Amino acid sequence: MSAPFDVASGMENPFGSQDLILVHDVVGAAHVVHVLCEVDICNAGEFAAELAELPSTGPVVVDLEECRFMDSTALSVLLDACALHGERVSFVVRPSSMIERLLRLFDVHAKYRVTHSLPGAVGSTCVPFQRNLIKPRFREA
C-alpha cells in the first residue's frame, strides 16, 4: 500500500496528513472558520495561528462539518481557542460524527455551543456556506 499523495508537493506523504485547507468567512457579525480537511500534528500549528488571529470581538464559529479526522494535537488547538475567545466560540459538526464524539468526550458541549448547522451557530438569517464557490489555494512546495 502506498502513502497518501500530497497535492501541494506533488509527492507521497509518509505521515498521511494533508495541507491545511481553511476558509475564513464573515457571516453577519460572526467570524467563521470552515475546516475543509483533516487536522493533525502536521498542520495543527497553522490551524492554531489562524484561530489566534481572529478578532477579539464578535462570535467565532469553527465549522468542522467537512473535517473527517482530528487528533489530540488539533483538539488541544481547539481548546486553546476556547480559552482565548471564551464563550464567543461555537462549533458546527456533523451529527454522530467522530468529531462530535470527540468534543462530547472532552465535555466541550457543556461550555460551548455545538450545533449541527451553520445557521444554528450564527443565527437563522445566514447564508449557508457553499463549497463550490471556494477554490482552495495550496502552499507552494
pLDDT tens-place values along the chain, 141 residues long:
344 444 444 455 455 556 889 999 898 889 999 999 999 999 999 999 999 999 989 999 999 999 999 999 999 999 999 999 998 999 999 999 999 999 999 999 888 999 999 888 887 444 444 443 444 444 554
Burial-class residue 94 by CB neighbours within 10 Å (0-12, 13-18, 19+).
middle
Indicate the CATH number for domain 20-122.
3.30.750.24
DSSP codes, 35-98: E-S-B-TTTHHHHHHHHHTS-SSS-EEEE-TT---B-HHHHHHHHHHHHHHGGGEEEE--TT-H
> Which residue is listed with cell 502506498?
2
- Distance between start and end Cα atoms, the chain: 24
Cell numbers describing residue 133: 464557490
Q: What pTM does this model have?
A: 0.75
pLDDT at 29: 87
pLDDT at 121: 86
Q: What are φ and ψ of residue 138, in 5° steps?
A: -105, 150
> Which residue is listed with cell 475567545?
85
pLDDT at 19: 82
The strand pair at 113-115 and 22-27 is best described as unpaired
Residue spans per domain, the chain: 20-122
